[in-house]
Structures are given as C-alpha cells and as structure tokens.
C-alpha cells in the first residue's frame, strides 16, 4: 500500500484518505487547500510533503491530473468543452485546453477527433 517512508502512520493515513477523496470525486473540492482543511488541519505541511514523496505528485497536481482524466470521459460523452472546462474549474476554454495539452500532449479538440476516428474504425470493423 505505501512505500517505505519516514512518515508516521497518521501522515500516511491522511495522504491515503486525500488520494481516495480525489479519486472518488475529482471535482469535489475546488482547491487542494479546501480538501486539506476539510480532512486534516494538523501537520498540513508534512501531509503535503509526504503525499508528493509517496505518490510522485503534489496534492494540487494530482487533483488537476485526476480532473483532466475525468474530463476525457465527459468529452467522450459529448459534453461541450465549455462545460467541461467550467466543471474542471478553469476560467476559460483556453486555460482548459492548455492544461489538457500539457497533460495529454494534444489539445482537447484534437484528442476528441482522434477518439472519434478510433471509435468509427472500431464500429466499421464490427460490421
């Protein structure tokens, strides 16, 4: 479950709880700070450092990554980019597109086109 770390069981349980909350609902908290305040106020700096050591990402970065992964699902379901961007707490489609491209290597429009092409090829192959 955990890598060997110098952190106390309290800290390890706290970071596992934070990860679970983000995985369960990437859109549940607008900012990582809100999540930290809600789940664990003591030792906040230690929790943030431990999360990065154990999972390889800071809490905020992990939260953003999970939101963008969930955004792909919304795009596959046909949700307009404007709504996906808003759901991911971006102020504009441009900011959302920049973050999406940073994580996945292509902007959302190109990703959608590629995904639709793959689905079309698979559907054609079934016929």
Say which CATH number the domain at 59 has: 1.10.10.60
Number of domains in the chain: 1
Residue 118 predicted with pLDDT over 60: yes
Domain span including residue 72: 9-126
Residue 79 predicted with pLDDT over 60: yes
pLDDT in tens, 39-71: 765 678 888 999 999 999 999 999 999 999 999
Q: Is residue 113 part of a domain?
A: yes
The Cβ-side half-sphere exposure at 69, using a 13 Å CA radius, reads 11
Integer Cα distance of 110 and 21 in angstroms: 30
Q: Is residue 89 part of a domain?
A: yes
pTM metric for this prediction: 0.78
Residue 93: pLDDT band with limits 50, 70, 90: very high
Q: Is residue 90 part of a domain?
A: yes
């Amino acid at each position: 479950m955990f890598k060997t770390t110098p952190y106390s069981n309290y800290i390890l349980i706290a970071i596992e709880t934070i990860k679970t909350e983000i995985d369960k609902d990437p859109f549940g908290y607008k900012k990582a700070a809100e999540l930290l305040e809600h789940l664990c106020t003591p030792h906040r700096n230690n929790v943030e450092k431990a999360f990065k050591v154990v999972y390889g990402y800071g809490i905020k970065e992990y939260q953003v990554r999970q939101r963008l992964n969930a955004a792909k699902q919304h795009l596959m379901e046909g949700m307009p980019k404007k709504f996906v961007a808003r759901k991911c707490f971006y102020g504009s489609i441009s900011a959302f597109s920049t973050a999406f491209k940073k994580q996945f290597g292509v902007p959302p429009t190109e990703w959608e086109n590629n995904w639709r092409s793959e689905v079309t090829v698979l559907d054609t192959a079934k016929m």
